Amino acid sequence: MSFAISGVNCAAATPLNADLTPDLGLFTAHCKSLLANGCDGIALLGTTGEANSFSRGERKAILEAALKAGIGAEQLIPGTGLAAAPETIELTRHALSLGVTRVVILPPFYYKGVGDEGLFASYARIIEAIGDSRLRIVLYHIPQVSGVPLSPGLIGRLIEAFPDTVIGIKDSASDLANMQAIVAAHPNFSVLAGADPLLLPLLKSGGAGCITATSNLVADSLRIVYDGVSDPARAAEVEAAQARINAWRSLSNSYVQIPTIKAMIGLKSGNTGWNRVRPPMLPLTDSQLGELRGKFEALP
């Protein structure tokens, strides 16, 4: 098997300044620390990154800042999928213009119940309009947020029509059986767990890796799981690492996930600026933060 994308990739959170603009300096420092702590790639500007609360201009500035800070184009996997195809095309072309060839693309997420034919037409139109043989797309299945599921049939059609371009899927639906079915049907296609607890079981089923939120906090443990999964001698270490990941993930789900993950990065790094989120997200309350701090200190 050879995957076009694999390993441990972080759905990086985006720190904000007091005026709720992106804190580019803190963001790029965070990305570098993620890479130093075991991540293979930074899937910036995803759901966890609050990308859909930023303007296109802000999104471009965030990607450019990462490159300018010295992170390699091959380590960056930005989300570029918007509701309107022309804007998805614009953001994807912008990434390609910077040498960033791997992107995560949501389906058009405003209209619901449009069907596989319509979603296929939308992705096809985007790929054909961009017309760049370097482009590598990770599909994004997160129906509980987008409201637009990507069916196995649609995935198969896209792989068949664009085998060099449609290289993988970030599956955040937390349905292991669905991921296993995609792996079985398309062995060289990269199925990436979007939910941390499924990293180990997915890898055991032939999955390619992950793009997850908890890797903002415990990238080192995700690295252990990914590197050790095939080594029987490391089984206990791998199980322990996955258990640690699950404990951190579980705490991050105590309140609304994105502000909680950011608050936990703040607790870990000692920088309370991480508590900021952009509406419609709200920061944790002082009482929630106090409660979180107690539980945080007890984490493995």
Residues within the interface to a second copy (CB under 8 A): 47, 52-58, 82-87, 90, 107-115, 117-119, 121-122, 125, 144-147, 256, 258, 278-282
* Closest distance of CB 129 from a second copy, Å: 11
Between 96 and 281, CB nearer to a second copy:
281
Between 117 and 231, CB nearer to a second copy:
117
Between 52 and 214, CB nearer to a second copy:
52
Between 11 and 224, CB nearer to a second copy:
11
* Closest distance of CB 268 from a second copy, Å: 24
* Closest distance of CB 26 from a second copy, Å: 20
Comparing C-alpha atoms, which of 160, 102, 105, 91 is closest to residue 136? Answer: 102
* Closest distance of CB 221 from a second copy, Å: 27
Between 87 and 175, CB nearer to a second copy:
87
* Closest distance of CB 269 from a second copy, Å: 24
Between 3 and 109, CB nearer to a second copy:
109
* Closest distance of CB 287 from a second copy, Å: 14
